[in-house]
Amino acid sequence: MNTRPIIILNYGERTPDSLARRIRDFSVFSEILPIDFAAEKIRKIDPIGIILSGSEIFIPQKDAPLPDRDIYKLGIPILAVENGALIMTHQLGGKIKFSERTKPGWDEVRIDPDCPLFVNLEPVQEVYFDSSVQIENIPNGFKDIAFSDLREHVAFADESNRLYAAQFSPDPAKTNPGKRILDRFLFQICGADGSFTLDTYLKNQIKTIKKAVGKEKIILGLSGGVNSAVVAAILSAAVPKQLTCVLVDHGMMRKNEADEIERAFRGKSLNIIRVDASARFYKKLSDVGDPDKKRKIIEEQFYKVFAKQAERIGGIKILALGTIYPDLIADGINKVSPARAQHTVRELPKDAGFKELVEPLRFLFKDEVRKLGRMLGLPEEIISRPSFPASGLALRVFGGITREKIEAFRDADAILTRELSKVAPFPNRVSAVLTDLQAIDPEASSDSGKFALVLRSFPTEDYTHNTGEPIQLPLETCRRIARSVFQGTDAVKRVVLDLKDDSQSFRSDFQDD
């Protein structure tokens, strides 16, 4: 990237990419790095500013990872938020304490309107605190810039060295004035120029790909999802006629998905090989119910089918992947969850024969990928489709995989997608699973042995980051979905709405393609 970024050093933040994505809305590039990333490496990156972020409770420990103390000497503006403020306090000589008097939650704070971080904001703001730990003494050279009746030192600054700290988050999703606070930090304190655009990103990627690929042939696995489709469009523009896409139909793609993908790339400067391997996958998954085992089997079989096609083509040394930025975050910032394994495992088997990876989406978030796809002229039916796991419908069908269950769920999923497309803003925020429970109607024997469909809603499109309450689907929408499903497929006789607040149990079934 040619633009100077904002660096976010992450300390246990469950959703670090939420803040990073908000910064992109200001046309400022953001990058997330581990909390202990070396100051000298940061200096070489030459960021315009640093944010210390963390929601995990910070308790000073001997072996706990901490920022390199030299970051405070780089002369780069730093904003420490939430527990990042506790870390800055601890490292610069202040004192923190645990308080039973305060609990996580919303509170009113009074701000210093003369501070550059709060200029032109209303004097009283409502913000959210994520911790019960308080700051007893702030470091020397700092002064308070926000005040609360319940907490001490809620925000403080050493303006001469451009060091700022707040025990609340500037993420607009957590704090009412968050957007304006970010604006002040990015433009008034850091001097951002707002030059990051997807158009510039695309041009840089095409230039980079041309240089890296040269005249070599390149191969890509088309999953039917948005990511791989956008990668194919970028590569066909960057290196025309050098790309071969292998579309492995494992029998668990969405309704008409393989046909839509082929149609979308008809006439493009690339070659598509479509392989029907459904019988192979059904056989391997017929008695497998565990989601992690399903993933592993699908990954292994997909690679075998894919590698066989690459061998037939011959001479291919470069593999393209649809890795996006949340995958890198899960891989390098936090421990890799099983749900992300299919996306973040980027070390190829030793016998793969590929010498290089090309990942043109590796610094983009999901919604940015969709925007890029529209810029490249991909059909809306592909760009706007709900997020989907690379393993297809398999992880959304409980129990062993059979053709009957997949066909039933494929029809129900298509109906759900169609009905949700009529109701904003729900299309990419609701999905379903086909349970292994059979719907039995004691008064209608014809219903015996039929399946139950469970709907699940999420606060945002990216299911990996949803830890709050599900969105509320209107009752009439639920009724219409149920009626349409019952009319459209004989195999589903019950539609159930899951209202569990914590989406952890569902998260592994709703990963992005």
pLDDT given at position 422: 78
pLDDT tier, 346 (very low <50, low <70, confident <90, very high otherwise): very low
Q: What's the pLDDT at 2?
A: 62
**Which of 223-232, 344-353, 365-374 is most confident?**
365-374
- Cβ neighbors of 311 (< 8 A, separation 6 or more) are 353
Position 264 confidence tier, pLDDT thresholds 50, 70, 90: confident
Query: How does DSSP assign 252-274, residue by residue?
Result: -SPTTHHHHHHHHTTTSSSEEEE
Separation of alpha carbons 321 and 317, rounded Å: 13
Give CA–CA dist 29/500, Å, rounded.
Answer: 35
- For residue 49, the SS3 value is strand
Under 8 Å CB-to-CB from 141, ≥6 apart: which residues? Answer: 158, 160, 161
More confident position, 224 or 495: 495
What CA–CA distance (Å, rounded) separates 39 from 33? Answer: 11
The amino acid at 22: R
Cβ–Cβ under 8 Å, residues 365 and 56:
no
The predicted pLDDT at position 78 comes to: 97
Report pTM: 0.82
Nearest partner of 198 among 441, 25, 419, judged by Cα: 25
**pLDDT, position 348:** 52
> What is the distance between the alpha carbons of residues 265 and 280, in angstroms, rounded to a whole number?
26
Q: How far is CA 307 from CA 74, 217, 299, 304, 345, in A?
A: 48, 15, 12, 5, 16
Give the phi and the psi of residue 110 in degrees, each rounded to 5. Answer: -105, 130
Instruction: Determine the length of the chain.
Output: 513
pLDDT in tens, 394-406: 988 999 999 999 9
pLDDT score at 437: 73
Q: What is the pLDDT of residue 513?
A: 47
Alpha-carbon distance 102 to 150, whole Å? 7
Confidence category of residue 103, pLDDT binned at 50, 70, 90: confident
- Top pLDDT among 139 and 355 is at 139
Q: What average pLDDT does range 260-276 have in this prediction?
A: 89
- Position 341 pLDDT exceeds 50: no
Q: Which residues on adjacent β-strands are paired with residue 13?
A: none
- Of 299, 318, 301, the residue nearest 511 (C-alpha): 299
Tokens of 7: 């660096």
Q: Which residue in the block uniquely carries the two structure tokens 């315009």? A: 48
Residues 6+ away with beta carbon under 8 Å from 505? none
Residues 6+ apart with CB under 8 A from 62: none
Cα–Cα distance between 337 and 339 in angstroms, integer? 5
How sure is the predictor about 195, in pLDDT bands with cuts at 50, 70 and 90?
Answer: very high
Question: Does position 108 have pLDDT exceeding 80, yes or no?
Answer: yes
- Note the pLDDT tens digit of each residue in 369-387: 999 999 999 998 888 877 7
Beta carbons within 10 angstroms of residue 69's beta carbon: 10
d(CA 181, CA 455): 37
- For residue 280, the tally of other CB atoms under 10 A from its CB is 16
pLDDT tens sequence across 483-494: 999 998 888 888
Across the range 275-297, mean pLDDT stands at: 93
> What percent of the chain shows pLDDT beyond 90?
47
Task: Inform me whether the pLDDT recorded for 46 exceeds 70.
Answer: yes
Q: Which of 168-182, 297-311, 415-429 has the highest mean pLDDT?
A: 297-311
Task: Specify whether the CB–CB gap between 318 and 216 falls below 8 A.
Answer: yes
Q: How does the average pLDDT of the chain come out, rounded? A: 83
Q: What is the pLDDT of residues 69-99, one digit of tens each?
A: 999 999 999 999 988 999 999 999 999 887 6
Confidence of residue 361 (pLDDT cuts 50, 70, 90): very high
Q: Are 140 and 154 in contact (CB under 8 A)?
A: no
pLDDT of amino acid 13: 59
pLDDT of residue 503: 45
Give the integer Cα–Cα distance in Å for 87 and 407.
Answer: 53
